[in-house]
Amino acid sequence: MSWLQEPVSLESNLWRVLKLNGRDFILKGHVEGSSYHVMLSDLCTIWEETLASDDILQRSKELNRNIEAPLLVILKRIGDNVSSNEPGSSFALPSSTPSHPHTLTLSLTTTLASLPFQWNFNLEQAAPKSMGAQLVAPLLRMVGELTHRGEELAQILTLKDKEIQDYKEQGARVSRKHFETAPFVEESFATEMTSSSAFPARALHSFSVISNPSVQCLYGDIAKARRWAERNDGVIEEVSDPPVSAAAVMSSLTSPVKKPPPESPSKEDEEARRRELERKLESEKQKPKKKKRKLM
């Protein structure tokens, strides 16, 4: 089994941004079987709650006396609101919440079967190692993967520049002047990015990157791949199409394509041709012969 078939877990589920009492938080959770696990963080502390079947039903009765719903229906509604911004739903914290309390009550106001539905997450401060496992380590792995991708992309751009230069030396020209680009220099590109006026703003808005679809996808993929590798003792299974380097990709694009040699006729083709020839010969034999005319 490939890591791509790895089931979803709390580690691979995505964080999403919540604005509560004028502060930025991130929220994630996972529903599995008859229980849920929810985490809330302000990037300094993580609060969490794990709740199972009987406790979920009991809390639902206490908060929603006019609603009786099956456990799986309640879990689905909770899971949907934790993972995405559901229309008509809202989260809130008590207005008197201190900066870093040991316990925290996160309230959810939503609907269930078109009826008002209230839920409280009674969160407790998680162990310090949760910050490393759920935030710091995944982000470091993402930085490593993005660095690798950047290096591969730089190689491709360098080879592209060589290809373009080769075309120019053979007399090729761009059809429009504004299509022309300067050769890519990795060091200059990095300097330009950090020297741009937008760089401080990008550094300031640390929470906005969490909503980026590409970042979210990479976060989930890395968590799944790591979990799969750990379960398989780090042994990477062989695949039919091994990864190729940027140089190999560009070489395949610029090298002349070799035509495959013509295939030799199969036995079925040879047999069909033989039967067709025999049929033509037999047809010739059956034609009446023309009488020869005598010359006077």
pLDDT in tens, 197-206: 888 887 777 6
Print the SS3 string covering 228-293: HHHHCCCCCCCCCCCCCCHHHHHHHHHCCCCCCCCCCCCHHHHHHHHHHHHHHHHHHHHCCCCCCC
Listed range (47-51, 95-99, 210-214) with the worst mean pLDDT: 95-99
The pLDDT score that the predictor gives to residue 158 is: 93
Q: Rounded to whole angstroms, how far apart are CA atoms 214 and 14? A: 12
42-77 pLDDT, tens digit each? 999 999 999 999 999 999 999 999 999 999 999 999
Tell me, what's the pLDDT at 240? 41
Sorting pLDDT into bands at 50, 70 and 90, what band is 285? low
Q: Where are the domains of the chain?
A: 3-126, 130-204
Please state, rounded to an integer, the average pLDDT across all residues of the chain: 83
Q: Is 220's pLDDT higher than 80? A: yes
Query: What is the predicted pLDDT for the residue at 257?
Result: 42
Is 254 a residue whose pLDDT tops 80? no
Predicted model pTM: 0.70
Amino acid 45: pLDDT: 93
Instruction: Say yes or no to pLDDT of 242 above 90.
Output: no
- The CATH architecture assigned to 3-126 reads Beta Complex (2.170)
